[in-house]
Structure 1
Amino acid sequence: MDTIRDILSSAASGAQAIAAPARPDVAFEELLALVDRTVLSLNSLGVGRGDKLAIVLDNGPEMVAAFLACATACTTAPLNPAYREEEFFFYLDDLKAKALLVAAGSNSPALAAAARVGIPIIHLNAREDGPAGLFDLSGTSSAATTPGPADSEDVALVLHTSGTTSRPKIVPLSHTNLLTSAANIVRTLNLGPSDRCLNIMPLFHIHGLVAAVLASLSAGGSVFCTPGFNALKFFGWMNEARPTWYTAVPTMHQAILARSSGNAEIIAANPLRFIRSSSASLPAPVFAEMERVFGCPVIEAYSMTENAHQMTSNQLPPGQRKPGSVGLAAGPEVAIMSEDGRLLPLGHVGEIVTRGANVTRGYENNPKANSEAFTNGWFRTGDQGVMDDDGFLRLTGRLKEIINRGGEKIAPLEVDEVLMAHPAVHQAVTFAIPHNKLGEDVAAVIVLREGAQAGERDIREFAAGRLADFKVPRRVVFVPEIPKGATGKMQRIGLAAKLGLA
């Protein structure tokens, strides 16, 4: 497949593509017609190939359809609807966006930011009484410089890196990058026309756009578009959608598990073929509990924006899946590299590197970042890991998150795993706190299981029996919920400040 439009045109006649709560499904033919209308509409509103269209829409079928349709006409730049005006101003200015797409009637602060930047507004008018996702566009007429549908090497999507330690970088992803990654996921999960994904991931994030949406549609299957993650509504959606799978980050899986005991009948009535987990490491106890509760394999994968999502994955039965591992290379080439650029043999710890048709060609307008990120054609992920004798990859930490305690290097993931084994612990996240002599020391934030009790001394004594003394958290903070970023991922960098420990 060359472009996103091509995957829609190749689906079986009459097949359903997009579904949503209490809405009729939309078929691939209707979606394809919407895409072609949208290309003409955007061209008549001054937006064409190579132009960046910032999209600020809530999760749901219109966001899915808008992404697919707009990416066929221009370069999409989805932004988190929860941003404040100053954040929108930064991203719109940094992107050099040609226009902003919002829902008709929106009062988003993005509108004020767009006025400050000086770009026009395009309104999406949803057909809320019709099939899920259909819409019309309106705005001020203007001729596009480069009209017509995109080709395979056009940039379909740009996303900013999270920017936890420095200015966010712009990651451009072509149709080839995106569809290569989607095809990798289809092969890994053996997706087909009978599969339906229940999407709970935000759609301004690569995980939801590629794994849930593009992979499903590439396989001729469908995606059920929720308004966003809500653990209280998850099982109701599951009962309505009758999905064969869903994909999420570990914090979402844990929230779903916490509410699973009261929904056993729905789980039994809607058996899943598998559950996918990605974007962060899944603690082994959570993996085991999910397989027990849902009665299906849990497939943990490893992904990042610069790789258009998937890099490695565990396997469906009868293939292997190893708890604590993110699996085998699943599309791109994956290797371990030393600091000086040498590829290391199995069993050696180093930086995880990738190369393949899914990998971005480089950050936009950032030669310094590109020189640091690419070595001999390999993309350096910034993650540390090791491959076992079978080629299964285990993550040992984010290089920037490794805790340096007076010269002793501590991988937070290793400490997390030990703390999660405590019977009272529901979630645990290890992170660095400042130390006036050692530079950094070890701390952990913990969410206890419902009804369970434990104190800081209990946790430290438990860890001390399983870890070297220098790895035992010196501070343990108990919270009702782990602080998370906009995409649902936990970010270790900055936790000390958020918790008042900096």
Structure 2
Amino acid sequence: MAVPAAASVRDANRYRPPEVTGLVDLLDRQVRERPYARALVVTGERVQLSYRALASLADEVAARLGRAGLRRGDAVGLICANTAEFVVGLLGAARAGLVTAPLDPALPDSQLASRIAALGARAVLVDASGVGVGVGVGVGVGKLPVPVWPLRVDVSRAGTAAVVLAVGVCGTAQVTGAAGELSDADALVLFTAGTTDRAKMVPLTHANVAASLRNICATYELGPDDATVAVMPFFHGHGLFAALLSSLASGGCVLLPERGRFSAGTFWDDMGAVDATWFTAVPAIHEILLDRSEREYPGPQAPPLKFVRSCSAPLNTATQRALERTFGAPLLSAYGMTESSHQATSEPLPQRGTLRQGSVGRPTGVEVRVVDRGGRPCPVGVEGEVWVQGPTVARGYLADGDESARTFVDGWLRTGDLGVLDEDGYLSLTGRIKNLINRGGEKISPEHVEDILAGCPGVAEAAVFAVPDAVYGQRVGAAVVLREPDGLDREEILRYCRAHLAPFEVPDHLELVTALPYTAKGGLDRKAVQVRYAPP
């Protein structure tokens, strides 16, 4: 019997996800029912901050922002690492009715200034990682007249906390930039991955946020007994939705590593300190933890994990199996985009469904369709573009009507990803449309070739890219990182490729390199790979 290549999953479990309406009431239930339960573990001393204390800090920030003259629906920037200042600033701005745009503290001042100008933010909150940015003090691009307000959260060892935030007065300046398209129904503006020229602004409403958190919490049945360590940065959806907000919405706890950044050297100590039950990361970080596990993973002394989650980039099956053996927990692959408020699909918990290595699981609270070039659903097992529809999907991009019209069609998000659905609705990704290599008319998925290369014994990771060619148009190039510097030579790797790939997919150009470039989000930086390793 034919099964349409579309799928949706509704929560039929006894578990009930948290009832939140957005960022504004994210903490309310916990404050009512469990005010002294730990919400965050912060600083190098790993001090616990309760839900009541966190809500009090957010309320204080909201009051001060309101007194500064900011109006509901105004946009503010937030330049922080994964610190208490980020959490308090985000929730405080939400309680003041403002729309927050988290920004990467590592971006150059010129890019920060360009993004703030494009958005039309009226002020910027920074923690210690953002102090010194040129925005608003006459240094950034265009010498923006945007006030920068340092935010500090002082937490004592006893768990008492206070906010230090000296705000000025914003006045009644006319709204500029894309902020004119925002309202107080909006919660966030997230920038897509990429350079300033390519990054797009995605507005997400409180309703988008609430739907995303309900879906994530339901998928993993998160609750007050769960805890995690913040690995991924909060200025992208992966860390923000999957780790931070879903934990707070469900009454769990998040440990924020010292200095607000992931450290492989302290990771397992952090996990033990908070009695973590799960964590989520990109494949590159999973590879790091796996490579260091022989000397750093505490084994029986490690906290027992319910599951480990992987998202934001493809995870090869060899690594998945090795992680499950090492950590003694199921590895659940998930898939999402900024435009879908992060998660769209995930493998289920083992007690709720089958784990299918190589897939990114089933839809979680949305509908997923695989379509051909005409937008018609593909049969089961046939590759096409992945489209997503549901309450987590954004309405479009800010200040970019043309791109919005191309990407958002009749309520569907055209992801630009290629994939196939099986008869049970599990999605397997096969590549990105724009990444396809055209070798004499043969369309080659770099992601597929990378997966094969990663399965070669002795290969740690690989990146595949197009090499210009006068005869074929493009050929296949690859940059490969070895687990041991002298473990393999090029011919051994190519021999493995010839045994596992079609002849036209085998790399014509292969370089052995010491490391690959990654974006701040944790995905492979394909543009940098092309520039570094493609022959002239």
Normalising by structure 1, we get a TM-score of 0.94
1:429 CA displacement: 2.0
Residue 198 of structure 1 is matched in structure 2 by 229
What SS is found at the alignment partner of 2:369?
strand
Distance 2:269 2:534 in 1: 38
Distance 1:446 1:153, change over 3 A: same
Distance 1:114 1:223, change over 3 A: farther
Residue 228 of structure 1 is matched in structure 2 by 261
Residue 315 of structure 1 is matched in structure 2 by 348
Q: Which amino acid aligns with 1:8?
A: L
Distance 1:62 1:303, change over 3 A: same
Contact 2:24 2:95 in 1 (8 A): yes
Distance 1:133 1:488, change over 3 A: farther
Deviations, residues 220-262 of structure 1 (Å, cap 9, x unaligned): 1111112212222212222222211110000000001111111
Distance 1:117 1:153 in 2: 24
Worse-matched range after superposition: 316-325 or 151-160: 151-160
Residue 139 of structure 1 is matched in structure 2 by 167
Residue 379 of structure 1 is matched in structure 2 by 413
The question of 1:32 aligning with 2:55 is answered yes
Match of 1:175 among 191, 194, 206: 206
Distance 1:406 1:380 in 2: 27
Contact 1:152 1:174 in 2 (8 A): no
1:210 CA displacement: 0.4
Residue 16 of structure 1 is matched in structure 2 by 38
Residue 243 of structure 2 is matched in structure 1 by 212
Match of 1:43 among 66, 87, 95: 66
Match of 2:428 among 372, 378, 394: 394
Residue 177 of structure 2 is matched in structure 1 by none
Q: Which amino acid aligns with 1:86?
A: S
Contact 1:47 1:53 in 2 (8 A): no
Q: Which amino acid aligns with 1:472?
A: V
The question of 1:107 aligning with 2:132 is answered yes
Distance 1:216 1:152, change over 3 A: farther
Worse-matched range after superposition: 323-332 or 424-433: 424-433
Worse-matched range after superposition: 205-214 or 46-55: 46-55
What SS is found at the alignment partner of 2:501?
coil
Distance 1:198 1:34 in 2: 21
Distance 1:41 1:375, change over 3 A: same
1:47-446 matches, within 5 Å, as 47-73=70-96, 74-103=98-127, 106-110=131-135, 112-113=139-140, 116-129=143-156, 131=159, 135-142=163-170, 154-163=185-194, 167-226=198-257, 227-265=260-298, 268-318=301-351, 319-446=353-480
Q: Which amino acid aligns with 1:279?
A: S
Distance 1:152 1:165 in 2: 24
Distance 2:456 2:61 in 1: 54
Q: Which amino acid aligns with 1:39?
A: A
Tell me which of the two structures has the higher relative contact order, counting C-alpha pairs closer than 8 angstroms and 6 or more residues apart.
2
Contact 1:25 1:132 in 2 (8 A): no
Distance 2:251 2:168 in 1: 36
The question of 1:4 aligning with 2:8 is answered no
1:144 CA displacement: 7.3
How many equivalent residue pairs?
498
Contact 2:312 2:522 in 1 (8 A): no
1:143 CA displacement: 5.7
Contact 1:63 1:133 in 2 (8 A): no
Q: Which amino acid aligns with 1:99?
A: A
Distance 1:212 1:137 in 2: 26
1:267 CA displacement: 5.6
Distance 1:337 1:500, change over 3 A: closer
Q: Which amino acid aligns with 1:354?
A: V
Q: Which amino acid aligns with 2:168?
A: T
Distance 1:80 1:380 in 2: 26
What SS is found at the alignment partner of 2:395?
coil
Pairwise CA RMSD = 2.2
1:132 CA displacement: 8.6
Distance 2:161 2:143 in 1: 30
1:165 CA displacement: 11
Distance 2:467 2:172 in 1: 52
1:362 CA displacement: 0.9
Distance 2:379 2:126 in 1: 50
Distance 1:428 1:210, change over 3 A: same
Distance 1:133 1:209 in 2: 22
1:114 CA displacement: 7.8
> What are the ranges of 5 or more consecutive residues in structure 2 without an aligned counterpart?
1-19, 175-181
Distance 1:264 1:99 in 2: 43
Runs of 4+ with deviation above 6 angstroms = none
Worse-matched range after superposition: 208-217 or 109-118: 109-118
Deviations, residues 460-492 of structure 1 (Å, cap 9, x unaligned): 111011111110011112222211011221132
Deviations, residues 125-151 of structure 1 (Å, cap 9, x unaligned): 2214364985232121346799xxxx9
Deviations, residues 313-339 of structure 1 (Å, cap 9, x unaligned): 001112211111000011111111222
1:31 CA displacement: 1.5
Contact 1:38 1:69 in 2 (8 A): yes
Distance 1:373 1:451 in 2: 43
Contact 2:74 2:183 in 1 (8 A): no
Distance 2:84 2:383 in 1: 43
1:424 CA displacement: 0.8
Distance 1:255 1:280 in 2: 15
Deviations, residues 155-182 of structure 1 (Å, cap 9, x unaligned): 1111122246963211001111112111
> What are the ranges of 5 or more consecutive residues in structure 1 without an aligned counterpart?
none
What SS is found at the alignment partner of 2:514?
coil
